[in-house]
A and B are shown apart, each in its own frame.
Chain A
Amino acid sequence: MTSIIEFFNALGKYDFLQSALLTAIMVGIMSGIIGSFIILRGMSLMGDAISHAVLPGVAVAYMLGINILIGASLFGVLAALLIGFVASRSKIKTDTSIGVVFSAFYALGFILISMAESSTNLHHILFGNILAVSDSDIMTTAVVLGIVILFVVTFYKELLVTSFDEVYAKTYGLNVQVIHYALMLVLTLVTVSALQTVGIILVVAMLITPAATAFLWTDKLGTMLILSAVMGVVSSMTGLYFSYTFNWASGPAIVLVAALLFALSFIFSPKQNFFKLKRSVSR
């Protein structure tokens, strides 16, 4: 208990901790929302791929001194397009196409990062370092959060219908490809923000785990989005506390909390019906 009080005392004293908390909250919200659509569309692997594929973009941005969002979204969207291109122009299945493209991007990213080594810390990019976010990072994250909310509010019905029933959306003339690639673009922006809190390797956990947890509790998409954002925020804040108190890397701390919330929901959610299922199997 004393450590929690200490944490709040420190929160009052240190700017860096306040920045970290603010970033954690914003990233929790955006990844929860976008992650919901990712899991409902059966695109968890795609989410993982895009989050890894931004690495060369991050490196290039450092090298050229441009905003990291620009570099990352360029490579993120390029990877999404390439994955779609390979899958649609060959008999190769989408998951294979994803595997080939994202690993290549990731590999390229490593080499570029090592070339730009002097100005970047690979460890922080890979595992996150939420205690070192700058004011400009916070601004960037706030802008991305704004974009995410605007995107989802504006295109809610299109995101809903293409996630649930793409064939139907096509029959009434909706351009489902545009929706798909717009979502991929927003996903890359979220990835870049989440990279600060959990790092590239664990971004996928922030996208998928809170959304999966929320899915276990509700049958309404709107509720799922909100609940998923709440799960993301709770995980991020609690993870930050552990990270500060025990000096753990912030990424793994946040992701473990998210996983714990999932595990509890898996056991206790009425929709999941874990106990009933078990009983009926044993009968």
Chain B
Amino acid sequence: MLTVKNLTVAYDDTPVFSDVAVNFNAGKITGIIGPNGAGKSTLIKAILNFIKVRKGNVDYNGQSIKSVQKQIAYVEQRKDLDLNFPIDVFDLVMTGTYGKLGLFKNPGKLEKQASHDALEQVSLNEFSKRQIGNLSGGQLQRVFVARAIVQEAEIIILDEPFVGIDLQSETAIMNILKQWRDENKTIIVIHHDLNKVTKYFDDLVILNHGIVDFGPANEVYNSKNIESAFSADLSSVLFQEKEGVQ
């Protein structure tokens, strides 16, 4: 279990959130939702040890998160990457083995086989020699998921993995997440599309400058929580629609 205890993060003097306490369970896919600027990415960055926290800590099964850093795979948002970089799909996936290899060791047969297998799992083997700029958004996202596969991490964090991708890729990625869940890994997904929340996630963390609620998705995804995290308007639209369908 990944445990966040009394976490306070602040840029300059304004805290993004204070005293956040939340658990992420192994064998569950946990979604994090909340309005823009609610602190979703900040929470992730704190877990990844990218930013200094003012107070509190994060641990994994009782160990400090820093000591298990190699057990975390992070699928970041793609927008900041140089898609013209001279690297093909296969070599990108293979960078996933670098962490475990450490310095002075180069990928060998084992690592190449793992990369090959991972690409097969996301059905992209035929693209392995393609330069990464020549892929669709969905294909590229699957490549990054394949990299996370070869990392063989226990904790996988994905930042808005379904933004701007095709349905086929979304399904393929979801299947990988479920596979990870079956392997008892801890999966954390920042998500923006409220419609699929209960379909995709076992657990849900609702964030708005602090925890609004967290727990099993079908319990905490209710009109009251959505109203307090987002707005009454949104809440009434979402939940009236739901009742209408039923």
Contacts and interface: CB of A to CB of B under 8 A. Distances in A.
Interface string A166-185: 01111111100000000000
A261 interface: no
B81 A164 contact: yes
A173 B69 contact: yes
Interface string A138-160: 00000000000000001111101
Interface in B74-103: 74, 76, 80-82, 85-88, 91-92, 95, 98-99, 101, 103
A170 B73 CA distance: 11
Contact of A224 (B86, B147, B151): B86
A154 B50 contact: no
Contact of B86 (A165, A169, A215): A215
A101 interface: no
A116 to B, nearest CB: 41
B173 to A, nearest CB: 17
Contacts of A269: none
Q: Interface SS of chain B: helix, strand, loop or mixed?
A: mixed
B69 A164 contact: no
Nearest to B73: A171
Contacts, number: 69
Q: Interface SS of chain A: helix, strand, loop or mixed?
A: helix
A224 B86 CA distance: 8
Interface residues of A, number: 27
Given A160-B95, A164-B95, A168-B95, A40 B151 contact: no
B226 interface: no
B95 A161 contact: yes
Given A167-B80, A171-B69, A173-B69, A161 B88 contact: no
Nearest to B95: A161
Contacts of B76: 167-168
Given A40-B86, A172-B151, A219-B86, A158 B103 contact: yes
A220 interface: yes
A161 B94 CA distance: 10
Interface string A6-47: 000000000000000000000000000000000010100000
Nearest to B99: A172
Contact of B87 (A164, A168, A173): A164
Contacts of B87: 160, 164, 219-221
Contacts of A94: none
B85 A40 contact: yes
Interface string B135-150: 0000000000001000
Contacts of A164: 81-82, 85, 87, 92, 95
Interface in B18-60: 48, 50
18 contacts: A40-B86, A155-B103, A156-B106, A157-B95, A157-B98, A157-B101, A160-B95, A161-B95, A164-B95, A165-B95, A168-B74, A169-B98, A170-B50, A171-B48, A171-B73, A219-B86, A219-B88, A220-B91
